[in-house]
């Protein structure tokens, strides 16, 4: 308020500034105390069982490395990585679990001062989960993610099946409805994008694809004759078939023609190999250079593989897509917190609004349970399957 007053009186000097009651407006201001409901959780901490009486001592423990901790943590993480890959879990799951296991191990060694990491301690896990909820104030979903990593560590790495973790479970309310764009907002965002980002986002919206599913598409996955797209190794290792939008066929074909021409030029100079999983490349040695295995949305540059050092092409990076989409949302002056994944939410909602049955939408999205798809019923422009208001029945 003081800044506005100074700016009004000395810079812009509007006609109303001199007559405005600045002092009376300032007197209405009330300071928010630490115990105010808006600030209470942020300003009044609740210490966990593992915290010392002196907060400074607790912080010093958390920051002070113990002897041999690096070797012990690395050994445990290595065992966990082996167990995760034997279980066939996704790469994202591997990264998440290993991150939690590493942080939990440091908590055991530094905060709790427990010797070694050779055995699983349910009480230590409980104290760590309490610490996350009370001191770190993480969301219930984040605490549950850490719990899943603890359970995997106990069962698959330490071989414990009979154990119980008694901790204060953070609870959440009902699931928040997803952010959904209107069809006009979708068009405004697309108008701010340029190819290949525009085509990529249109395909995500038109077929309900996840970001990773769209980026990892290969030429062989597109079937223009049947107007379908085959999605392989999606979330949970699942496969499904979705609709290829007829409205995009012409532009997709032109895009593929340009990529094909670039692929032939790369082949002429000894490049043009697309990255393939090691097992697949060993089974089909020539597949990497074949047109059908090329990325639909390849990156502009080739780069050496970290293991083989062979120059191969990769798909567009997800961070680049996120930056391009966020910039388009800002330029379109849309105030919603929209990401590229919002296109998938909008796809499902708009289909339900158009009268498509929910089981069909469930299959297109690849949801295992229809209850996951039902969340979109709450964000339709006509909620409740279009039931009218009683005031409109008269």
CATH 1.10.150.130 maps onto the chain at 55-157
3-state SS of 176-211 is CCCCCCCHHHHHHHHHCCCCCHHHHHHHHHHHCCCH
Instruction: Tell me the pLDDT tens digit for each residue of 7-17.
Output: 877 777 777 77
The answer, yes or no, to whether residue 242 has pLDDT greater than 70, is: yes
Q: Provide Rg for the chain, Cα atoms.
A: 27
- Residues taking part in catalysis: 210, 235, 341, 344, 367, 376
Determine the pLDDT at residue 254.
92
Which option is the CATH number for 55-157: 3.30.470.20, 1.10.3720.10, 3.30.70.20, 1.10.150.130?
A: 1.10.150.130
* pLDDT score of 306: 65
Question: What gap in Å lies between CA 305 and CA 302, rounded to an integer?
Answer: 9
In this predicted structure, what is the pLDDT of residue 236?
75
| pLDDT per position as a tens digit, 301-316 | 777 766 666 777 888 8
CA atoms of 391 and 120, how far apart (whole Å):
62
Mention every residue, 6+ apart, whose C-beta is less than 8 A from residue 390.
Answer: none
Averaged pLDDT, 157-174: 75
Omega before 348 cis (within 30°)? no
Q: Which range has the worst mean pLDDT, 65-74, 113-122, 149-158, 271-280?
A: 271-280
pLDDT surpassing 60 at residue 237: yes
Q: In CATH terms, is domain 183-331 a member of 2.60.40? A: no
User: Looking at residues 159-163, what average pLDDT do you find?
Assistant: 85
Report strand pairing: 298-304 vs 228-231: unpaired
Q: What is the pLDDT of residue 95?
A: 93
* Averaged pLDDT for residues 370-380: 77
How high is the pLDDT of residue 169? 67
Give the mean pLDDT of the chain: 84
Q: What are phi and psi of 190, to 5 degrees?
A: -60, -35
Decide if 199 contacts 255 (C-beta within 8 A). yes
For the ranges 33-37, 91-95, 146-150, the one whose mean pLDDT is highest:
146-150
| φ, ψ for residue 136, nearest 5 deg | -85, -20
Q: Is the pLDDT of residue 52 over 80?
A: no
Nearest Cα residue to 105 out of 138, 69, 141: 69
Nearest to 169 by CA among 135, 144, 149: 144
Q: In this predicted model, which residue has the larger pLDDT, 370 or 254?
A: 254
pLDDT digits (tens, 9 = 90+) for 181-208: 999 999 999 999 998 999 999 999 998 8
Q: pTM for the complete prediction?
A: 0.74
Looking at the chain, which residues constitute the CATH 1.10.443 domain(s)? 183-331
Rounded percentage of the chain residues whose pLDDT exceeds 70: 92
- C-beta of residue 201 within 8 angstroms of C-beta of residue 181: no
């Amino acid at each position: 308020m003081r800044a506005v007053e100074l700016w009004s009186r000395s810079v812009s000097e509007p006609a109303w500034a001199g007559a405005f009651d600045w002092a009376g407006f300032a007197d209405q201001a009330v300071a928010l105390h630490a115990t105010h409901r808006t600030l209470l959780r942020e300003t009044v901490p609740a210490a966990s069982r593992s915290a010392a009486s002196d907060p400074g001592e607790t912080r010093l423990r958390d920051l002070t490395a113990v002897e041999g901790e690096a070797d012990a943590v690395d050994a445990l993480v290595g065992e966990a990585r082996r167990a995760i890959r034997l279980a066939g879990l996704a790469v994202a799951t591997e990264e998440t679990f290993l991150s939690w296991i590493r942080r939990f191990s440091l908590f055991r060694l530094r905060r709790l001062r427990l010797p070694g990491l050779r055995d699983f301690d349910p009480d230590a896990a409980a104290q760590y989960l309490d610490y996350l909820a009370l001191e770190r104030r993480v969301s219930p979903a984040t605490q549950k993610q850490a719990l899943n990593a603890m359970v995997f560590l106990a069962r698959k790495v330490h071989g414990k099946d009979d154990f119980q973790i008694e901790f204060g479970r953070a609870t959440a309310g009902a699931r928040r409805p997803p952010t959904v764009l209107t069809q006009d907002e979708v068009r405004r965002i697309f108008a701010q994008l340029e190819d290949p980002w525009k085509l990529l986002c249109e395909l995500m919206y038109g077929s309900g694809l996840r970001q990773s599913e769209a980026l990892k598409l290969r030429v062989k996955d597109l079937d223009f004759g049947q107007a379908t797209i085959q999605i392989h190794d999606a979330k949970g290792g699942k496969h499904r078939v979705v609709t290829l939008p007829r409205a995009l066929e012409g532009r997709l074909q032109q895009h593929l023609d340009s990529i094909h021409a670039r692929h032939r030029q790369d082949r002429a100079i000894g490049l043009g190999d697309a990255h393939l999983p090691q097992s697949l490349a060993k089974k089909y040695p020539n597949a990497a250079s074949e047109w059908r295995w090329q990325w639909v949305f390849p990156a502009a540059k080739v780069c050496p593989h970290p293991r083989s050092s062979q120059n191969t092409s990769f798909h567009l990076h997800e961070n680049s897509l996120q930056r391009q989409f966020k910039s388009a949302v800002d330029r379109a002056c849309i105030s919603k917190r929209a990401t590229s994944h919002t296109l998938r939410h909008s796809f499902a909602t708009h289909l339900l609004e158009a009268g498509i049955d929910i089981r069909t939408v469930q299959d297109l999205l690849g949801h295992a349970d229809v209850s996951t798809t039902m969340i979109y019923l709450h964000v339709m422009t006509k909620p409740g399957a279009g039931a009218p208001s009683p005031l409109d029945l008269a």
